[in-house]
Amino acid sequence: MATINRKILEQVIAATSEPLVVVRVDRPDWPVVLTNPAFKAITEERVLKQPFADVIEELAGRELALEVSETVRAQQETSLPVELNGREYLLVLKALIIPGEETARYYAAYWRAGAGSGAASGTELHYELLKAKRRVRDLSRDDPVTGLLNGRAFADVFEHDWAVAAREKGKLSLVMFRLREFDEYRDVFGRHAADSCLRRVGQAIRRCLRRASDVAAHLDGERFVVLSHASDEDGVRDFAAKISTAVRELGLHHPRSSSSKFVTVSYHVSVADISVEQRDAREFLTELLAVKTS
């Protein structure tokens, strides 16, 4: 079949009644490259060239933006229930793979109108099935104590973002956090209190994330890690210091701490320039995990 002229394709997209955006996912921050009039009708914001995750966060909140980010990083397709302006939609994410290429450089995201309120319907049942599927998926990707990503899921995200940064000759920043003297905290207060401490620290870290493309994970025991696309090392250090302050301000009493009467974290910042980096993603991450934070 002959290749469709771009102008014709743009006219077809413009005539589509469902709100639609096209996103380039082989570029940092996944910029929006195309929208149709139906999408412009649901938001007054200018979204062209804006990071896709930021657009979703503005429209539907951080939690959905994080879920969309995970889906795109995994090169998956999915449908997510979302409410906008009092109406129910299915946000459909579809990879657009160019013939001859193995991975998608573009994603289409479009909003299918739901059934609205009223009696149970096929659409509402579909929503419930989607929610059930998300819960099953979360059991394999999320750390059960903190709700952040687990170590295996984080490694998958990091390898994906490393590959994108390699194509774009970009940088990635990682910050490793370690709870100080956490074994002593557990000895004093017990396992349940220790889990509560980890959960609250994880929540504090999540609140400090600057955009949906930032990713946080609980690795094991007292260790957390954050991935950021920021390339300014001083800015990343300020970001890490902000998280450290947020953890201390939780005010979690630690009677055996040698540095403070509260639970605190140490951290280590690493910025990788992928264009000159000799290690691959897995080697880089393995070496970082072996670093002792100060």
- Please state the pTM of the whole predicted model: 0.67
The pLDDT tens digits of the residues spanning 35-50 come to 888 888 888 778 888 8
Q: Go through the domains of the chain in sequence order and give each one's CATH number.
A: 6-141 (3.30.450.20), 151-289 (3.30.70.270)
pLDDT at 126 over 60: no
pLDDT surpassing 70 at residue 293: no
Check pLDDT > 80 for residue 231: no
Residue with tokens 């077809």: 12
Closest by Cα among 274, 73, 240, 252 to 154 = 73
Tens-digit pLDDT profile for residues 2-27: 555 667 667 777 778 888 999 998 88
Task: Return d(Cα 65, Cα 213) in angstroms, integer.
Answer: 8
What are the structure tokens assigned to 278, written together? 């000799």
CA atoms of 125 and 152, how far apart (whole Å): 32
